Amino acid sequence: MKNKSYDYIFGNGKFNTWFNIIVSIISCSAISFCLTELLFSFDFKVSFQKALIFTILFVIFLLLFYYFIKQRTYKLFDQKITYGFRERKILYADIHSLVFTLSSRPKGIYDIGLGEPYLYIKENGKKKYICNITIYLAYPSVIQKRYDINISNGQIGMSPAYSFNCYDIKSIFNLIHHSKANIYVTKSFLLFNNWTINRFCKEYNISMEMVQLINDGN
């Protein structure tokens, strides 16, 4: 049974499928129109040839847009996470560590000003800042060591770490309890939500021994 889907680009679960459809149609139409007019020196005349080129460009951009969104979408089930165009899966049992940090994606609700460039939702009139969850399939230190070696050798590859934003308590609860992973939470995430470690543990019904605090300088 699927619990939630989280789109890494458009607000990560805040917006539904219709939002993605509308945005993709508007964006692809605008780009296709501009490119078509550019090819015809912006004469703004209607012709069969121009309509054909517009249609071809629109379909191409729509497919690219769909592929791009699909690649960045994570779906949380009871025992696994699927992601990407080919529905690759991550079993909860294979997860070693979960790291909770603040989400700072460029889409979502903002305060006016420079102080809070983070996504949040409102519950009972109070802000609840959305967390970015990073999944590690091995020890974070081992992953960092492999990454440093690859960089020094001029090889930039994928590391066994995956990241997405989430605010749904049920999905996070299932992820924590079915994965049995080590849990790390940053100080900034707790401060912005006005939480303590105790409050975080109570929210997801876990013991304090499972959670380690990361002092990220905030």
The per-residue pLDDT for 55 is: 94
pLDDT in tens, 129-188: 778 888 888 766 655 565 555 545 544 444 567 888 777 778 888 888 888 888 989 888
Q: Where are the domains of the chain?
A: 2-73, 90-214
Q: How confident is the model at residue 56 (pLDDT cuts 50, 70, 90)?
A: very high
**Residue that wins the pLDDT comparison between 5 and 56:** 56
Q: Which residue has the tokens 């939480």?
A: 195
Better pLDDT: 17 or 1: 17
Residue 19: per-residue pLDDT: 63
Checking if the pLDDT of 9 tops 50, the result is no
What is the per-residue DSSP string for the chain? -EEEEEETTTTTTTS-HHHHHHHHHHHHHHHHHHHHHHHTTT-----HHHHHHHHHHHHHHHHHHHHHHHHTEEEEESSEEEETTTTEEEEGGG--EEEEEE---SSS---SSSS--S-EEEETTEEEEPEEEEEESS-HHHHHHHHHHHHHTT-----SEEEEEE--HHHHHHHHHHH--EEEEEHHHHHHTT--HHHHHHHHT--GGGEEEE----
pTM over 0.75: no
What's the mean per-residue pLDDT of the chain?
75
Task: Look at 100-109, 119-128, 146-155, 201-210 and tell me which has the smallest mean pLDDT.
Answer: 146-155
